[in-house]
Amino acid sequence: MRYERLLIPSLALIATAELSRWAFSQRTRHVIYDRAKGVSEISGKNTEPMQCAHLDHTHGTNYYNSPDNGLLLTLREHLMDHIIRGGRNGLAMEANEWAIGTLYQQVTRELGPQVAQETMAQARQIRFEGGEWPVDKFQPPEVYHQKELAFMGMNGD
């Protein structure tokens, strides 16, 4: 089954709200979805449900709800991201484990238990045995902004 942009675009992104009461606002999800043209920003796929994923989950930052702090990922990629970047994605370990459990249930429900198990195994292999994870190439806006200021000689140094 191919998932395409629906007549009511917000329906394609509603699953994000299940993950956190602090999920991206609906407006931010639309901006991320439009920027990505409805395909995963790391794989180019749109053959399964899509979700907006935070680069940095640290609450209270001025960029938490910014489109620059998000990527459009497939449901499986979102699950993999929480497994691979756990401990360095701004979430406490307990909160990240909860997100993994919630995403695992969604993958199981949407794509089947075998796909969910294969996704977990693939993510664990990347995390524990090494391997490239494309999300690592993206940086949260605050990190990027500090580097940009340093490059422009405006960081106060």
Rounded distance, CA 154 to CA 53, Å?
A: 30
Q: What's the pLDDT band for 152 if we cut at 50, 70, 90? A: very low
Rounded distance, CA 99 to CA 84, Å?
A: 13
Mean pLDDT of 94-119: 95
Q: Mind listing the pLDDT tens digit for each residue in 35-92?
A: 999 999 999 999 999 999 999 988 888 888 899 999 999 999 999 999 999 988 999 9
* Average pLDDT of every residue of the chain: 79
- Look at residue 135 in the predicted model and tell me its pLDDT: 85
- Look at residue 147 in the predicted model and tell me its pLDDT: 45
Rounded distance, CA 33 to CA 14, Å?
A: 12
Torsion angle, alpha carbons of 147, 149, 154, 156, to 10? -50
State the residue for tokens 């709200």: 17
Percent of the chain past pLDDT 70, that is, above it, reads 74
- Look at residue 28 in the predicted model and tell me its pLDDT: 92
φ, ψ dihedrals at 51, nearest 5°: -140, 150
Nearest Cα to 56, choosing from 130, 142, 114, 151? Answer: 142
